Amino acid sequence: QVQLVESGGGLVQAGGSLRLSCAASVRTFSIYSMGWFRQAPGKEREFVAAVSRSGGITYYAISVKGRFTISRDNAKNTVYLQMNSLKPEDTAVYYCAASIMPMTEIPYQYNSWGQGTQVTVSS
């Protein structure tokens, strides 16, 4: 089991930027593909972005492509989500997750989840 702790959330105005971090407590971080998901009030959890084990391949939801960037530092056991040009509809609790499978956007294919960090974008 991977312990994941997100940080970096907060309140930002529309058009602003935030960088989320997710620190993993595991010795073999590089064997996991990593993903970011988000859940807004009254809505289902949705895929945001994923990164391969090496960090060389990334995949994004259409709603964030071109604005968000996922990356990872295997030496630091950390995955990041750089969010630019934020919109009010990006407001949600953001979760990072680890999967033993290759990069995926399917929630049930992730084995471990963080507790989430709140991102609020004001108009």
Tens-of-pLDDT digits for all 123 residues of the chain? Answer: 899 999 999 999 999 999 999 999 999 999 999 999 999 999 999 999 999 999 999 999 999 999 999 999 999 999 999 999 999 999 999 999 999 999 999 999 999 999 999 999 999
The two tokens of residue 113 are 């989840």
- List, for residues 99-116, the tens digit of each pLDDT value: 999 999 999 999 999 999
Which distant-in-sequence residues (6+ apart) come within 8 Å of 72 by Cβ? Answer: 34, 51, 55, 78, 79, 80
Residue 8's nearest CA partner among 110, 104, 79 is 79
